[in-house]
């Protein structure tokens, strides 16, 4: 039996995640059947579920990929930049679909403690990165000082959540740039 290298395993995993993301985006969480996941990834169910325990794990792995990318962007450019990136890709139909899938699981987040716990780790990493960056900005003197950092962080997260809901519902993204400018100005040191 030929040995499969780590590179090959990693490439296979990325192939599955990309196909799964497109599949969830197009068909929703419930609609992403195993047959459709096979079609979108180009792999058999055996190959897919060799890498991921079940559909829920696959979904959470795609979301964790997003979270890791978000944490990196937040650390370097802030949460508003993540929002600007979402806005720039608003024309891609799969983006709204994928965001919509995340809304679809909202009931699960209220009723399934195990799922909630796995999702919370993802949210907490983003929240922590947001707070850390704001603290660095405060120390550099560019952040407003009259509102606690925690409140500013929650404010940016609220705006981010609002943008996710807005885009997931297919509402127009045009004209939202000045709204993000305004949200960004809120956390800056006031003139």
Output the smallest distance, CB 102 to a second copy, in A.
9
| 3-class DSSP state of 45 | helix
Count of alpha carbons within 13 Å of 1, Cβ hemisphere only? 3
The binding site for a second copy (CB under 8 A) comprises 28, 30, 93, 96-97, 100-101, 103-104, 106-107, 109-110, 116, 123, 147-148, 150-152, 154-155, 157-166, 168-171, 175-176, 178-179, 182-183, 186, 190
Count of alpha carbons within 13 Å of 53, Cβ hemisphere only? 4
Between residues 5 and 106, which has the closer beta carbon with respect to a second copy?
Answer: 106
Between residues 128 and 164, which has the closer beta carbon with respect to a second copy?
Answer: 164
Task: Identify the CA nearest to 39 among candidates 64, 11, 16.
Answer: 16
Output the smallest distance, CB 69 to a second copy, in A.
20
Output the smallest distance, CB 44 to a second copy, in A.
27
> For 5, which DSSP code?
P
User: Using an 8 Å Cβ cutoff, are 17 and 25 in contact?
Assistant: no
């Amino acid at each position: 039996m030929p040995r499969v290298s780590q590179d090959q395993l990693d490439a296979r995993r990325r192939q599955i995640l990309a196909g799964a993301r497109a599949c969830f985006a197009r068909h929703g969480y419930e609609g992403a059947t195993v047959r459709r996941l096979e079609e979108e990834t180009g792999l058999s169910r055996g190959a897919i579920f060799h890498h991921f325990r079940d559909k829920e794990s696959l979904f959470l792995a795609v979301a964790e990929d997003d979270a890791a990318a978000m944490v990196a962007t937040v650390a370097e450019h802030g949460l508003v930049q993540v929002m600007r990136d979402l806005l720039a890709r608003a024309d891609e139909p799969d983006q709204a679909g994928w965001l919509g899938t995340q809304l679809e699981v909202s009931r699960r987040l209220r009723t399934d403690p195990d799922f909630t716990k796995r999702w919370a780790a993802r949210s907490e990493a983003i929240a922590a990165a947001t707070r850390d960056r704001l603290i660095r900005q405060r120390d550099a003197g560019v952040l407003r000082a009259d509102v606690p950092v925690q409140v500013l962080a929650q404010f940016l997260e609220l705006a981010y959540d609002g943008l996710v809901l807005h885009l997931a519902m297919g509402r127009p993204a045009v004209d939202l740039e000045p709204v993000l400018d305004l949200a960004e100005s809120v956390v800056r040191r006031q003139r």
